[in-house]
Amino acid sequence: MPGHDIVVIGGSAGALEVLQNILAALPADLPAALFVALHRPDLPLAVDALSATVSKSGGRRVEAAIDGKGIEYGHVYLAPSGSHLIIQRGAMRIEHSPRESRFRPSVDALFRSAAMAYGRRVVGVLLSGMLSDGTVGLWQIRKHGGITVVQRPEEAAFSSMPKEALENVRVDYCLSALQIAGKIAELA
């Protein structure tokens, strides 16, 4: 059986900094592709910030997801502002469909599509943020046999998203940012 080589990460307020810490702590040769949905209107700034972090750790390439592009290990794909990032077998789709959980990009849309396409191979990680986006998606990942990880609410700058997930989904792991990086590496 393949390892957990599809890692989906979602967050909102306070998540970019946490994501930078996670990416910096991951091994450069991680045998996985990472997909990220952040509620941020400034995607180019987020790509630049994450690219700078990753280049310091000698690893992955960070880029905005492109419709129809194939999936490659060692890459971090960010959902474009104003569109959903949808994972299909072997490729990404970018959809400007209705908002989900009040957002576009929606963490739920990313998580759900990954769960449906890759099932047990998926690791879903929910970080800092407000409201409840990501809870339904984590539930879908769990339902399809994937692994669910939530940032510790007491560590999150904004704890609503992690708390909502913990209250409604039987999460596999509730970890600090540095522990999340180690768990992703272990599972991949």
Q: Looking at 4, 5, 12, 101, which residue is catalytic?
A: 12
pLDDT at 177: 86
2: pLDDT strictly greater than 60? no
pLDDT at 1: 37
The yes-or-no answer on residue 48 being catalytic is no
The CA angle 62-51-77, to the nearest 5 degrees, is 20
How do residues 64-119 score in pLDDT, each as one tens digit?
A: 899 999 999 989 999 988 899 999 999 999 998 878 777 889 999 999 999 999 99
For the segment 50-59, the average pLDDT, to the nearest whole number, is: 60
The yes-or-no answer on residue 133 being catalytic is yes
The yes-or-no answer on residue 12 being catalytic is yes
Fold for the domain defined by 6-187: Rossmann fold (3.40.50)
How do residues 60-79 score in pLDDT, each as one tens digit?
A: 788 889 999 999 998 999 99
Q: Looking at 5, 83, 108, 133, which residue is catalytic?
A: 133
Separation CA 140–CA 142 (nearest Å): 5
Please report the DSSP string for the chain in residue order.
Answer: -----EEEEEE-TTHHHHHHHHHHHS-TT-SSEEEEEE--S-HHHHHHHHHHHHHHTT--EEEE--TTPBP-TTEEEEPPTTSEEEEETTEEEEE----BTTBSS-HHHHHHHHHHHHGGGEEEEE-S-SSSTTHHHHHHHHHTT-EEEEE-TTTSSS-HHHHHHHHHS--SEEE-HHHHHHHHHHH-
28: pLDDT strictly greater than 90? no
Domains of the chain, by residue range, sit at 6-187
Q: Looking at 4, 39, 84, 144, which residue is catalytic?
A: 39
